[in-house]
């Protein structure tokens, strides 16, 4: 058999063998966002974050109202003021508006940090639950539905409901189940 014939035969064998080998791999996927929103710890964390944000929003709203009234007063009294006084008061008001906008930006940045801090331990526990399910079911791959580039998958491969149930069944205060040593880290 010539080298060329051998290469052609090998290529043909690989062409048929690779899809069969790939199809032997078991896989699943998880809608991580949904899991985070539906596990009990995730709901509690979101509620705490929302309360914190609502409190900050009320504070910003109160300060905006004070500034609005100050602007109305300035508009009413502007004609009775000297040019210099009117400009000074308008400049002061603009400065207060700018400071309020900076305060809101600071609160948004704090909210993002708080969300990361709240969700980090939950994500770790979710990863452990996913690893346990994958190990138990002999899954070779578990993809994240949105960020993996997964365009379509049959719902029978969706592990989200099982992850939520298993997570919520963990004893309160329990650490995350240990992930296998070869599991990829996020």
Tell me the domain boundaries of the chain. 26-169
Residues 130 and 167 sit within 8 Å (Cβ to Cβ): no
For the segment 51-73, what is each residue's pLDDT rounded down to a tens digit?
A: 999 999 999 999 999 999 999 99
pLDDT at residue number 18:
47
Residue by residue, DSSP assigns 68-135 as: HHHHHHHHHHGGGS-HHHHHHHHHHHHHHHHHHHHHHHHHHHHHHHHHHHHHHHHHHHHHHHHHHHHH
Quick check: pTM over 0.85?
no
pLDDT at residue number 181:
53
- The radius of gyration of the chain's CA atoms, rounded to the nearest angstrom, is 29
Query: What is the separation of C-alpha 122 from the centre of its chain, rounded to a whole number of angstroms?
Result: 12
* Mean pLDDT across the chain: 84
Is pLDDT of 147 > 90? no
Residues 129 and 29 sit within 8 Å (Cβ to Cβ): no
Mean pLDDT in residue range 99-112: 94
User: What is the CATH code for 26-169?
Assistant: 3.30.910.20
For the segment 130-139, what is each residue's pLDDT rounded down to a tens digit?
A: 999 999 999 9
Q: Which residues pair with 149 in a beta bridge?
A: none
For the segment 3-53, what is each residue's pLDDT rounded down to a tens digit?
A: 555 544 555 554 555 454 555 678 899 999 999 999 999 999 999 999 999
Three-state SS for 2?
coil
């Amino acid at each position: 058999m010539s080298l060329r014939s051998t290469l052609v035969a090998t290529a043909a064998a690989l062409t048929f063998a690779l899809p069969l080998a790939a199809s032997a791999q078991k896989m699943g996927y998880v809608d991580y966002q949904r899991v985070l929103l539906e596990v009990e710890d995730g709901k509690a964390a979101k509620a705490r974050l929302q309360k914190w944000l609502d409190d900050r929003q009320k504070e910003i709203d109160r300060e905006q109202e004070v500034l609005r009234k100050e602007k109305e007063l300035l508009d009413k009294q502007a004609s009775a003021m000297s040019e210099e006084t009117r400009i000074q008061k308008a400049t002061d008001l603009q400065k207060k508006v700018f400071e309020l906008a900076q305060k809101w930006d600071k609160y948004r940045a704090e909210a993002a940090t708080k969300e990361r801090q709240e969700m980090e331990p939950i994500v770790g526990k979710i990863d452990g639950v996913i690893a346990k399910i994958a190990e138990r079911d002999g899954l070779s791959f578990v993809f994240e539905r949105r960020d993996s580039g997964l365009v379509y998958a049959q719902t029978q491969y969706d592990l989200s409901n099982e992850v939520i149930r298993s997570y919520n069944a963990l004893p309160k205060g329990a650490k995350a189940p240990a992930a296998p040593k070869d599991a990829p880290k996020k």
